[in-house]
Structure 1
């Protein structure tokens, strides 16, 4: 059963809004039957942009999606659609990889609620790049990312001797993903 932790940033979560979120995100219950899961839903308004972020931690996978629109209800609909696509892709990947093995229990139920078979989403790698990771600090990695005009950059963190990633956030600031 999926439980919801709904919070608002720069917006009051009205009973009508809460009900709409629970109804729409509740559609995901059919995929995670038999599991007690707490999903986190954040509703945010910044400069007439309505953003909905949903994070659902499951065994072996974290579902996360974000959608921004001029209308909060459209954002909610969009984020649920994204999450359903993620679940279908993950199911397809697991089923393809472990079809003969059967040792891994699928964390999602087998039907999509309509009785139709899920169509497989083919993942196509269209380009592969190889490069040496130069040891550098976080600030140098951000500068390299900016000079390349990319929105993320993989580097060998000289301070921690780990492979880390810096990325540019939608708000224009920077984030750091540290590997362990």
Structure 2
């Protein structure tokens, strides 16, 4: 959806703060003995984010009515402040954290939340950079920008992963 500039850029302020607060609280709860497991859970959920990102992009943004129309607008107006409002994405993350907390404990729930939110923050950051920056040619960011341009302008049934090509390779939707 069309966002104000404050709405568009709020992810870049709100998410680092929430991740830092949740991370500190979770590490305190985990204690010294639980810290390695907490970090491992964050890393697993960060990796899980890449699959969620791929699935959301491929199946929700390209097939769910209304959402598809909003995403099609992004394909046309790449540099306009179109995106998910922070209150909505953060609300979904909060629902996940609370759900995990109900079946587990706060340390695990905070690690899951931090991992998924770090993944989301990486996604929105990379997505912003590939549409607004001009990275140097042999870089990771340039490669992602080129792949995403193929998705936008040549084949919107390919290259659904914004931060990684991994799931596009697994599901045979990679196009270079």
Q: Same fold (TM over 0.5)?
A: no
**Greater RCO, 1 or 2 (C-alpha within 8 Å, sep 6+):** 2
**Could you say which structure has the higher helix fraction?**
2
